[in-house]
Chains A and B, each alone.
Chain A
Amino acid sequence: MTELERKQDRAPIPSGWEYASAPESREIVELRERYGHFVGGEWLEPKETYTTIDPASEEPLAEVGQATEEEVHLAVSAAREAFENGWSNLPGSERAKYLFRIARILQERSREFAVLESLNGGKPIRESRDVDVPLAAAHFFYYAGWADKLEYAFPNRRPQPLGVAGQVIPWNFPLLMLAWKIAPALAAGNTVVLKPAETTPLSALLFCDVLRQAELPQGVVNIVTGDGRAGAALVKSEVDKIAFTGSTEVGKAIQRELAGTGKKLTLELGGKAANVIFDDAALDQAIEGIINGIYFNQGHVCCAGSRLLVQESIYEPVVSKLKRRLQTLRVGDPLDKNTDVGAINSRQQLDKIQELVRSGEEEGAEVYQPPCRLPERGYWFAPTVFTNVAQSYRIAQEEIFGPVLSVLTFRTPDEAVEKANNTPYGLSAGVWTEKGSRILSMAQKLRAGVIWANTYNRFDPASPFGGYKESGFGREGGLHGLEPYLRFE
Chain B
Amino acid sequence: MSRLPVRKTYKLFIGGEFPRSESGRTYEAEGQNVARASRKDVRDAVRAARGAFGKWSAMTAYNRGQVLYRIAEMMEARRAEFADLCSGPAEVERSIDRVVWYAGWADKLAQVLGSSNPVAGPYFNFTVPEPTGVVGILAPPAPALAGLVSRVGPAIVGGNAVVVVASEPHPLAAVELAEVLATADVPGGVVNILTGRSEELAPVLAGHMDVNALDVSGADGQVPELERLAAENVKRVVLGAPDDQSPWEIAAFLELKTVWHPIGV
B256, A449: Cβ atoms under 8 Å? yes
A449 touches B255 (CB 8 A): yes
Is B256 within 8 A of A453, CB to CB?
Answer: no
**B117 in contact with A449 (CB, 8 Å):** no
Closest chain-B Cβ to A263's Cβ sits at a distance in Å of: 11
A–B Cβ pairs within 8 angstroms, 14 of them:
A248-B234, A255-B234, A256-B227, A258-B227, A269-B234, A453-B260, A458-B121, A458-B123, A460-B119, A462-B125, A463-B125, A463-B127, A468-B255, A470-B234
A267 in contact (CB, < 8 A): yes
Interface size class of chain A, counting residues whose CB lies under 8 Å from the partner chain: 35 or more
Nearest Cβ distance between residue A229 and chain B, in whole angstroms? 20
Q: A455-B123, A460-B117, A462-B118 are in contact. Are A450 and B258 (CB under 8 A)?
A: yes
**Are B259's CB and A451's CB within 8 A?**
yes
Contact B228 A256 (CB under 8 A): yes
Of the candidates A251, A448, A460, A463, the one having the most CB atoms from chain B within 10 angstroms of its own CB is: A463
Q: Any chain B CB within 8 A of the CB of A475?
A: yes
Task: State whether B117 touches A455 (Cβ < 8 A).
Answer: no
For residue B77, CB closer than 8 A to chain A, the reply is no
Partner of B261, one of A267, A439, A462: A439
Given contacts A255-B234, A267-B234, A478-B127, 6 further A-B contacts (CB under 8 A): A251-B234, A260-B228, A458-B121, A463-B127, A470-B234, A488-B248
A209 to chain B, nearest CB (A): 26
B side interface size, CB within 8 A: 33
A252 adjacent to B258 (CB under 8 Å): no
Quick one: given A462-B117, A463-B119, are A252 and B232 in contact (CB under 8 Å)? yes
Q: Which residues in chain A, 240-283, are within 8 Å of chain B measured between CB atoms? A: 248, 251-253, 255-256, 258-260, 267, 269
Q: Which residues of B contact A480 (CB under 8 A)?
A: 115, 127, 256
Which residues from chain A contact B132 at a C-beta distance below 8 Å? 468
Q: Please encode chain A, from 442 to 469, with 1 for each CB lying within 8 Å of some chain B CB and 0 for all others.
A: 0100011111111100101011111011
A207 surroundings in chain B (CB, below 8 A): none
Name the contact of B257 in the complex, choosing from A269, A424, A449 (C-beta under 8 A).
A449
With a cutoff of 8 Å between Cβ atoms, the chain A residues found around residue B224 in the complex are 259-260
B50 near A: Cβ within 8 Å? no
Which B positions have Cβ atoms within 8 angstroms of A? 115, 117-121, 123, 125, 127, 132-133, 212, 223-228, 230-234, 236, 248, 255-262
Complex CA gap A252/B248 in Å reads 25
What is the minimal beta-carbon distance from A445 to any residue of chain B, in angstroms? 8
> At the interface, is chain A mostly helix, strand, loop or mixed?
mixed
Q: Which residue of A lies closest to B228 (CB)?
A: A259
> With A and B bound together, what is the CA distance between A251 and B230 in angstroms?
12
State whether A475 touches B260 (Cβ < 8 A).
no
Given contacts A468-B132, A480-B115, contact A453 B259 (CB under 8 A): yes
How many whole Å from A296's CB to the nearest CB in chain B? 15
Question: Known contacts A448-B257, A449-B257, A453-B260; is A463 also within 8 Å of B117 by CB?
Answer: yes
Instruction: Knowing A460-B125, A480-B256, say if A256 contacts B231 (CB, 8 Å).
Output: yes
Could you tell me the distance between the alpha carbons of A468 and B236 in the complex, rounded to whole angstroms? Answer: 10
Q: Are A475 and B231 in contact (CB under 8 A)?
A: no
Interface hits, A389-411 → B, CB 8 Å: none
**Is A138's CB within 8 Å of the partner chain B?**
yes
CB distance from B41 to the nearest CB of A (A): 25
